[in-house]
């Protein structure tokens, strides 16, 4: 059962004295909590199933009502536990249709505050990426299903499970009448999978109010590298590119027009093919030069990370990665940029055959960025490169490249006291098999001891 | 109103003595027919609207019930006019799901036969290509709509209008109590847009029965080059290619896995980009060598074809074609092969952004073929070429290329007596503005005079 909550623990903000031993981590306090959690497993899983069943796909504005519904369910659970909630407005978005609609709000919540305790703010999100059976799901993505002891469902780990795990941790403290060792706040959003629109602005606005007494922020929204829990101390940033090639006024019949017209699809395919070679190297001039050089100290860090290349290859069903060594593979995933082509909008994408020449197509790709790349510079480099390739083709069509910038890349100091607390919590929590809830409990325990 | 029936006339089979003048083409016989047609315009358009509203999209097996429904409507109209109908079974098709389903049948019909008259067999189809508003339709594709005197609707010209025009021609003869100058047969199918599965086999099977007394076949299923009616004496053939690149067991998160894995989309984009250059030249080795050389006589034919390049560019909304001259453009469309990339199945194709790495993608393109290309040779050349490009990429993914062969290319003799009859009918019919029905009437008149 532990496998379904693949949440990695990130402690990003705040700083405090180094860790010390404390009685609050003792078994006398923790035992009743652990017992409660063990006794309520089925109930926790059932609640996760209810959350997974809510199709909170934030990529489709038509589904935002479901995102909002799950935010309401979350708020209600917090209120039932005595928390105060606020739905913070984060503005509107103009849809492709021209219509302007309100974004799902961000849920801010806190509990009664004890000035003697440190304050921990939990970040999470309740929205998901799209999921269709034809994408390769073996089970119904919106019906949490157990297969060989693992639970499968869209959002089960990213990020509904981890959010619920925190709520269940609070529930365990309250039900066993234990005192929480920290003050808790929550910031839960519903637009993470499509770029967290408005979130950055909101955190700035509330810096002197909601966040003024926050000592630590914990984000459980990442994956484990292997079966061992992982502490994430950095993530790559991301910019999403839309490459639109627009041609004639309407779709054409390829039997009638094929051969005399430079088709938007040929242009787009050539543009996309100019981005990356078969070794995974990004071909946009200048882009790789900004990447922070690898230090010897950093290189050594990778040697001790558990990652069984052969096992992962077997699991994924491929016979080789682009890199030959464990270190090479992990560095490609974490400390070097990458480019993925996601798809094409406007072309024929259904099963079967259709011989139409589409008049307007939009290619979509994203670039994962690392320190010291600057999203604005990357955007300019990519646009210039695409424009150059397009100009050489002497196309009668028009090109327009637009972007949405996701997160910037970041990297934290592993020796920071919060990472020490996180590491201790993970180690202690591993002895128990309902890993995430236990780790969450222990994080709050160890955080309180480092204050 | 004439503009909506853009049917070109093709007379393919049979042979007879050269044309001669005849009284059956005189105004005494034709006037009442023309008057009837003029008086029933609105009714004819209304019936076309009913046919267009039936979404007989043959590319989607789920819509075959609508294809069958329209075949039934057609059969009923023929029966009401005293015709005999038969639904010929043309076998089954295995769907991607593994399910085997019956193909829509082919409708064979004839009327009472007079041994002294020649027999004309009319070919037509009642299925259509898919049509969605987002493909660029200004009006609802399944709601026949008049805009500035033209009628717009999926299938209005290809091929519901022309089929109905023939039925209305028969109706006009009967209503005005005129005797049809020819015996009529119909062969109407519902799978033309997806390769006419089973049709070739059926015509072979019925060669000694249904087709044994057929002197001429007329196909009104092509377009006009300009606003002048056109007689088609050849069409390009077509082979449709499915290029499947299959990788890992499931879709991957590009933030987590991007950079260490050679993605199926990169492979597919490179494969598709290896097919055609920006001048429209097909890059598959050997493919262009089979093309029949251009003779001086053929070159001259193109000089007199009406095709206003500037007007067409303006209509289409582009500033240049791949060729500089009228002759070059028309030859590229008719007598040289072309390759069009239609789309990708399995990748992200919806509006918005999604950062998933698709595990399995299928690229789709088709090659229009001309004399003397052999579909089997083309298929082998393309497969070898794609395999070579793929091998060089040293990909961990697997490649599978499959095809469906459409029609073979063909070219007929323009001096054949049937083309002479067709030409006369088009010229005479042009004086009247309900062009297609009148032309259909006249074809039967002139055909009868060449027997």
Confidence of residue B2 (pLDDT cuts 50, 70, 90): very low
Query: Domain A235-292+335-405: which CATH class?
Result: alpha beta
- Range scoring the smallest mean pLDDT among A444-448, B51-55, B122-126, B243-247: A444-448
**pLDDT over threshold 80, residue B339:** yes
Q: Inter-chain contact B280–A265, Cβ cutoff 8 Å?
A: no
B19 touches A: beta carbon within 8 Å? no
Q: Which pLDDT score is estimated for B14?
A: 24
The interface predicted TM-score of the complex, written ipTM, equals: 0.73
Question: Per residue in A148-182, pLDDT tens?
Answer: 888 999 999 999 999 999 999 999 999 999 999 89
Q: Which pLDDT score is estimated for B204?
A: 94
**How many Cβ contacts (< 8 angstroms) between chains A and B?**
274
Which has the closest alpha carbon to A114: A443, A422, A451? A451
Residue of B138, B269, B350 best to disrupt the A interface, most CBs of A under 10 A:
B269
Domain limits, chain B: 2-233+412-450, 235-292+335-405
A408 touches B: beta carbon within 8 Å? no
Question: Per residue in A248-303, pLDDT tens?
Answer: 998 999 999 999 999 999 999 999 999 999 999 999 999 999 999 999 988 998 99
Q: Given the structure tokens 């003029």, which residue do they identify? A: B38
Residue range A213-225: mean pLDDT, rounded: 85
Q: How far is A365 from chain B (nearest CA, A)?
A: 8
- Range scoring the smallest mean pLDDT among A76-85, A230-239, B55-64: A230-239
Q: Inter-chain contact A350–B345, Cβ cutoff 8 Å?
A: yes
A276 touches B: beta carbon within 8 Å? yes
User: Catalytic residue positions of A?
Assistant: 127, 192
**pLDDT over threshold 90, residue A373:** yes
Question: Quick one: tokens of A294?
Answer: 């690898």
Cα distances (Å, whole numbers) of residue A352 to B96, B196, B199, B257:
9, 14, 19, 30
Q: Inter-chain contact A338–B258, Cβ cutoff 8 Å?
A: yes
The interface residues of chain B toward chain A in range 146-205, judged by CB-CB distance below 8 A, are: 194-195
Q: Which pLDDT score is estimated for B128?
A: 97
- 3-class SS of residue B329: helix
B62 touches A: beta carbon within 8 Å? no
**Among A194, A317, A332, beta carbon nearest to B259:** A332
Q: Which pLDDT score is estimated for B12?
A: 23
Q: Which pLDDT score is estimated for A434?
A: 61
Q: Inter-chain contact A276–B266, Cβ cutoff 8 Å?
A: yes
For domain B2-233+412-450, the question of CATH label 3.40.630.10 is answered with yes
Q: Which string of b and e fits B10-33 if b means at least 16 CB within 10 Å?
A: bbbebebeebeeeebbeeebbebb
Q: Which pLDDT score is estimated for A6?
A: 22
Question: Quick one: tokens of B222?
Answer: 């092509």
B218 versus B381: which is more confidently predicted?
B381
Question: Per residue in A301-322, pLDDT tens?
Answer: 899 888 999 999 999 999 999 9
Residue range B163-182: mean pLDDT, rounded: 93
Confidence of residue B22 (pLDDT cuts 50, 70, 90): very low
A359 touches B: beta carbon within 8 Å? yes
A146 versus A406: which is more confidently predicted?
A146
Confidence of residue A220 (pLDDT cuts 50, 70, 90): confident
Cβ-proximal residues to A235 (8 Å cutoff; 6+ apart), any chain: A222, A407, A409, A410, B255
Confidence of residue A10 (pLDDT cuts 50, 70, 90): very low
**pLDDT over threshold 70, residue A433:** no
Containing B345, the helix (H) or strand (E) segment is strand B338-345
Q: Which pLDDT score is estimated for B304?
A: 84
Question: Per residue in A115-143, pLDDT tens?
Answer: 999 899 999 999 999 998 887 899 999 99
The interface residues of chain B toward chain A in range 364-403, judged by CB-CB distance below 8 A, are: 364, 366, 368, 392-397
Q: Inter-chain contact A319–B270, Cβ cutoff 8 Å?
A: no
Confidence of residue B415 (pLDDT cuts 50, 70, 90): confident
Look at strands A119-125 and A216-219 and give their pairing. parallel
Q: Inter-chain contact A340–B265, Cβ cutoff 8 Å?
A: yes
Question: Per residue in B267-324, pLDDT tens?
Answer: 999 999 999 999 999 999 999 999 999 999 889 989 988 899 999 999 999 999 999 9
Q: Which pLDDT score is estimated for B119?
A: 92
Q: Which pLDDT score is estimated for A24?
A: 45
Instruction: Return phi, psi of residue B247, to 5°.
Output: -120, -120
Q: Inter-chain contact A364–B348, Cβ cutoff 8 Å?
A: yes
A290 touches B: beta carbon within 8 Å? no
């Amino acid at each position: 059962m532990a496998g379904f909550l693949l949440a990695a623990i990130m402690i990003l903000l705040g700083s405090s004295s180094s860790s010390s031993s404390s009685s609050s981590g003792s078994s006398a306090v923790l035992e009743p909590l652990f017992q409660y959690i063990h006794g309520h497993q089925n109930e926790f899983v059932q609640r996760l199933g209810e959350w997974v069943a809510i199709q909170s796909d934030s990529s489709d504005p038509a589904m935002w009502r479901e995102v909002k519904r799950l935010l309401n369910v979350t708020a209600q659970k917090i209120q039932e536990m005595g928390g105060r909630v606020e739905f913070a407005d984060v503005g509107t978005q103009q849809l492709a249709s021209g219509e302007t609609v309100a974004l799902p709000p961000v849920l801010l919540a806190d509990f009664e505050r004890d000035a003697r305790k440190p304050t921990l703010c939990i970040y999470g999100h309740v929205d998901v990426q799209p999921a269709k059976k034809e994408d390769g799901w073996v089970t119904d993505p919106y019906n949490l299903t157990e297969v060989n002891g693992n639970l499968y469902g869209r959002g089960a780990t990213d990020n509904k499970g981890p959010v619920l795990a925190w709520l269940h941790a609070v529930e365990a403290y309250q039900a066993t009448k234990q005192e929480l060792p920290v003050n808790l706040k929550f910031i839960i959003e519903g637009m993470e999978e499509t770029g967290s629109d408005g979130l950055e602005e909101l955190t700035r606005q509330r810096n002197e109010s909601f966040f003024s007494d926050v000592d630590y922020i914990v984000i459980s929204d990442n994956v484990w590298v292997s079966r061992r829990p992982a502490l994430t101390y950095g993530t790559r940033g991301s910019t999403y590119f839309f490459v639109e090639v627009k041609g004639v006024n309407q779709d054409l019949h390829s039997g009638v027009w094929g051969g005399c017209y430079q088709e938007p699809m040929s242009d787009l395919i050539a543009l996309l093919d100019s981005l990356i070679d078969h070794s995974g190297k990004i071909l946009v001039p200048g882009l790789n030069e900004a990447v922070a050089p690898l230090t010897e100290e950093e290189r050594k860090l990778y040697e001790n990370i558990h990652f069984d290349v052969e096992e992962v290859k077997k699991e994924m069903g491929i016979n080789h990665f682009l890199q030959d060594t464990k270190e090479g593979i992990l560095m490609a995933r974490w400390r070097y940029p990458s480019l993925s082509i996601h798809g094409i909008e406007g072309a024929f994408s259904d099963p079967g055959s259709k011989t139409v020449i589409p008049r307007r197509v939009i290619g979509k790709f994203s670039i994962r960025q690392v320190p010291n790349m600057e999203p604005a510079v990357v955007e300019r480099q990519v646009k210039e490169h695409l424009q150059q390739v397009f100009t050489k083709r002497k196309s009668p069509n028009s090109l327009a490249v637009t972007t949405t910038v996701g997160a910037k890349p970041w990297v934290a100091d592993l020796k920071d006291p919060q990472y020490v607390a996180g590491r201790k919590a993970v180690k202690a929590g591993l002895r128990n098999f309902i890993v995430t809830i236990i780790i969450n409990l222990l994080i709050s325990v160890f955080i309180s001891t480092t204050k």
